[in-house]
Amino acid sequence: MQAYKLNATIDESGNLIIDEPLNIAPGTVEVIILQPVPSLESSKENQIQSQREKQKRIVECSIPILKEWLESTEPTPSDFDPDQAKWEYLKEKHNL
C-alpha cells in the first residue's frame, strides 16, 4: 500500500479540502485523519516536566544511564505484592 502525507483543511460544512494537487491512480482509498491538539500537548508536556521534577529519587548505581532511569521511576507502593503481580500477569498471558 502506497502512503501519502498531505495537508488539508475541514471547512465549516465538514468537507475535506486538500491543499495541494494529488496525482494518484483512481480507485478506493483509505483515509486516516490526524488533527493536532496543541492545548493537550502543551499541558501533557507540563505534566511530564512536573512529574520528572517530583519523581527525582536518589539511587546508587555505577551505570550512569541506569541510574538516570531509576531516578525517574516511581517507587513501589507499600502494599505491592510481587507474588500477586506475577499471578495476574500469568493469568492474562495464558487466558486463565
Cα 87 from Cα 92, distance rounded (Å): 9
Q: Where are the domains of the chain?
A: 1-35
The answer to whether the CB of 6 falls within 8 A of the CB of 22 is yes
The per-residue pLDDT for 92 is: 92
The whole-model pTM stands at: 0.34
Parts of the chain with a pLDDT under 50: none
